[in-house]
Structures are given as C-alpha cells and as structure tokens.
Amino acid sequence: MRSIFSCILILFIVLPLNVSAQDVRVGDAAHGIFKYDDFEKPAKCRSCHIDIYEQWNQAMMSVAYTHHWDEIEYFELAVKHGEKDPKMKPVADGCNGCHAPLAFFAGDTPPPRPSENSRANESVSCDVCHTITGFVGDIPHNFNFISKPGKIKYGNRDGVESPEHTTQYSDFIRTADFCGVCHNEKNPFGIWVKSTQIEWKEGEYSEQGVRCQDCHMPGAPGRNAVMAKEEYDDVAQHLFHGAHSPAKLRGSVELRIHPDTRETEPGMPVVLKAVLHNAKAGHKIPTGAVEDRIMWLNVEAVDSKGRKYHLAVDEKGFEGEKYTIASDELAYQDIGEIMGIPDFKGLPRDGVPVGDRIFRMAYFDPKGRMTICQWNTASLGTDYRIGPRETKIEKYTWDLPDDIPEGKVTVTARLYYSRLVNPVSDYLNVPEDEKEHVLINESSTTFEIFW
C-alpha cells in the first residue's frame, strides 16, 4: 500500500517536471513566448539597488540594443540581408535573443528603432539576467538560457529578504556558463563566431576557479540594496567592463622589447624581440566580436638626430599569416552585396601601418573574402590571438642604413587595440568613439651606433 502510494506520489512529482521540461523553449524557439510586460523595468530596480543600477547603466550590456554601431550593423546589414535572403531572416531575428531579449521574447522583431524608445531599448536588463534559471543542452550558446520572469529574482545569496520580490539562491548565476549563453555563438554555417566562455574553459583560469564574475563583477564590501539588513564583504559590482573601457584594456597584455646587441655599426643588422604576455584576461585577446576587433604591435626606431624608422615584423611562415601582417589590400566585399551597392570594390583590410603584426582571427564569407558580418562567416582563418597567460614573441630584423648617425637609437614598441577596423567604421559612418585606438602597453629599448 505504502509503495503504491509512493509510486503515485513519484508520478505526481515526476510527471509535471517532465512535461515542463518539454515545454521549456530556449534559443530560436523562445521567439514570442512572453510579453514585454512579463519583465520589470530597470528603473524600478534602481529605487533600491542604486549603485548596481548606475554601474550597469554605464556598461555595454545596458546599451546592447541602442549602441550606435549595434544599430548600424543590425539595421543596415543584418536586417537587409534577411530581406534579400530568406534564410538569413531568422538569423537577423536572433540578434535580439542576446542584444534585445525582451523584444525577442515578445516576438517583436525587428524591434522599433532605438529612437522610438520602445522597451527593446532596455537591452540586457536586470530582469533578463535575474530570471534566468539554467540552460538547455551541453554547451551554453545562442541564448539557450531558460527564462522564468516573475516575482522570484535569482541571486548569489541564500535566504536574503526583500520587501519587493522573492529571492532565490541560484548556483547557475554564479557560473561562467551563465555568461556563456550569450558570449558563445554558433552561426548558420556552424561556425563558432563567438567563444569567450569556451576560450575561458580551455584556459587555466577555469581550472583555478576564477570565473567571469571575478574579473568583470568583482566583490567589494558594502550593501547590495539601500535597505539591505547587513553589509557583505563581497557585493558583486556590476561593472561588466570590457573592450569599451580603456582602463580594462590598459596593461592587459604586458610588453617588453630588447635588441640582440647594445653596440653596432651602420649597415649591420640588429634583431629586436618583443615579448607579449596576456597577464590580465581570462580568455583570448581579442575575444568576443573578433570579426571587428584587432590588436596590433607598432615598432618604431628614432636615431640620435630624431629621424624615425618604421620596422616591419619578421614573417614566421605559418599558414594564413598574411592576415596577421597589416596590408592595404581590399576586403569586406560582402558589405556591397548586402547593401546593394554596385561596383563595390571593398575596403582596405586593416587601416593600420603596413607591416605591423596584427593579433586576430580572420572571418571569411562563403566566397572566401574577409568579412565583418559574423552571421555571413563560412570559415575562420588562423587564430593568432593571445590566449590567457600565453606569451608570444615577435621578431624585427633591421638592416641599419649606411647613413644612420652615430649615437643612441631608441626603439619603441606600442601595442594598440581597436574595437572596429577603421576603414569599416569610416565607410559605415560609425561615430568617432568606436574608432579609438587604445594604447594597451608601450616599451622602449636602446642601442648605440659607432662609426
């Protein structure tokens, strides 16, 4: 009797769980499953979580839909591509799964333009993240997170009480998988066009238990809400600072340069070596939107009379290396096809001094040309980025000119970062701030010329 009773009980417990597991719709299947009103506005959370709100408010995730470059790429390229090629329509809708989750869940795609001030503008809001309960599948990617909007806000602490909402402790929100649901992306060609969490997992920080949260939302003493009962010594700061924060980029790669001789003569070769070490990032640099981002090393010498010499990097001879040495060849021809511009020849590939080493991974369109359209990427080039705690050495062989004057030569290596290759930002009229060349690090060395 007892066992029959417990069987029935088990059935009751198990059945609804199974049913709801089948009902859980994530990723593309979550299009249109909720209403905008199911989610609360960040302004409401602000009334009690002021510091957290103001931190989030100046982070990129609060403008993931409204930010100028996102608006341009989404409306001028992705949506247009979807109109031309029906296969691309769901892909363009899918941009919103990560950039404007409320609009995606409401089935409102494409959402109204940012200037129309719709709730799509809330971007990756408080309530998007704090109602995520897990993800479906083996690898977090392509917004495969489970969303349960409502009174329960999932957080990193057990048993905290709020007058406004219920709170529930969540193991999941404390993991890198939580971030991976949007920071890994596989495109319609099956290419991993974003893999920040995967890079992290393959690196040593994951083994050591250093999570995304530890570097992007470090814990500091204080209260997490104005009326919180107690102070904690590790309140998660919602900084989410990344490549749009020069202070986060600065020093992320350490840099030193040295010559193979300290005293030499005109006409002789000098070999300089630059050593670069990714000391600060838990993933590769650049990571994320790698189709847009480049980091490059510029090496310049100045002789005793102030004359300047630009030094080109020595080739290493690996496959696909040409994409890692700056050139002025043309690329990005798919922009012309997508935008319907006749006779579009392409844009200069790099926009940085020819011969500089570029740390990047090239994205290629179905015709094998470099592209910044991640959804239109059919293959990837050699991955020449700097992994977590990885060190790379670049060599510069310089045959000194016969007329180089006597005295001290100073050689300076400068490592720069750009969020969007400049010929593309110029062509698409992306505002100036996205063009910024951020100096990550700088190092100088000297040697003497004797006649």
Site for ligand HEC in 104-163 (CB under 6 A): 124, 126-130, 142-143, 153, 155-157, 160-163
Coil, helix or strand at residue 229 = coil
Q: Return the residues of window 305-344 that contact ligand HEC according to CB under 6 A.
A: none
Tokens 């002025």 locate to 328
**Distance from C-alpha of 397 to C-alpha of 394, rounded to nearest angstrom:** 10
Please report, for residues 263, 362, 392, 415, 445, the alpha-carbon distance to residue 408 in angstroms, rounded to integers and kept in the order given: 9, 39, 27, 23, 10
301 vs 361, beta carbon nearer ligand HEC: 361
Residue 176 in contact with residue 200, Cβ under 8 Å?
yes
| CB-CB neighbours of 347 under 10 Å | 22
418: left (phi over 0), alpha (psi -120 to 50) or beta: beta
Give me the least distance between CB of 138 and ligand HEC, in Å please: 16
Q: Return the residues of window 244-303 that contact ligand HEC according to CB under 6 A.
A: 244, 248-249, 252, 280-283, 285-289, 292-293
Please report, for residues 200, 369, 393, the alpha-carbon distance to residue 316 in angstroms, rounded to integers and kept in the order given: 27, 23, 10
Give me the least distance between CB of 373 and ligand HEC, in Å please: 8
Coil, helix or strand at residue 21 = helix
264 vs 278, beta carbon nearer ligand HEC: 278
Q: Using the rule CB under 6 A, which residue among 30, 31, 73, 350 binds ligand HEC?
A: 73
Binding segment for ligand HEC (CB under 6 A), chosen from 104-112, 175-183, 318-326, 327-335, is: 175-183
Binding segment for ligand HEC (CB under 6 A), chosen from 68-76, 102-110, 337-345, 408-416, is: 68-76
Number of H helices, E strands in the chain: 15, 20
User: Quick check: 430 binds ligand HEC (CB under 6 A)?
Assistant: no
Residue 244 in contact with residue 229, Cβ under 8 Å?
no
Give me the least distance between CB of 98 and ligand HEC, in Å please: 3
Q: Nearest 5°: phi and psi at 297?
A: -110, 120
Please report, for residues 92, 98, 142, 423, the alpha-carbon distance to residue 28 in angstroms, rounded to integers and kept in the order given: 11, 11, 8, 33
Q: Using the rule CB under 6 A, which residue among 371, 419, 424, 443 binds ligand HEC?
A: 419
Q: Return the residues of window 388-417 that contact ligand HEC according to CB under 6 A.
A: none
Q: Using the rule CB under 6 A, which residue among 26, 30, 31, 101 binds ligand HEC?
A: 101
Q: Using the rule CB under 6 A, which residue among 25, 32, 36, 44 binds ligand HEC?
A: 44
Q: Using the rule CB under 6 A, which residue among 375, 396, 398, 447 binds ligand HEC?
A: 375
Binding segment for ligand HEC (CB under 6 A), chosen from 30-38, 177-185, 323-331, 335-343, is: 177-185
Q: Which residues contact 209 (CB under 8 A, 6 or more apart)?
A: none
Give me the least distance between CB of 150 and ligand HEC, in Å please: 10
Q: Return the residues of window 205-244 that contact ligand HEC according to CB under 6 A.
A: 205, 210, 212-217, 224-225, 227-229, 232, 235-236, 238, 240-244
Give me the least distance between CB of 24 and ligand HEC, in Å please: 16
User: What mask of x and - would describe binding to ligand HEC in positions 11 to 40, judged by CB under 6 A?
Assistant: -----------------------------x
Strands 407-418 and 437-449 come out as: antiparallel
Q: Using the rule CB under 6 A, which residue among 26, 31, 34, 98 binds ligand HEC?
A: 98
Q: Using the rule CB under 6 A, which residue among 26, 30, 95, 424 binds ligand HEC?
A: 95
| CB-CB neighbours of 7 under 10 Å | 10
**Amino acid identity, position 202:** E
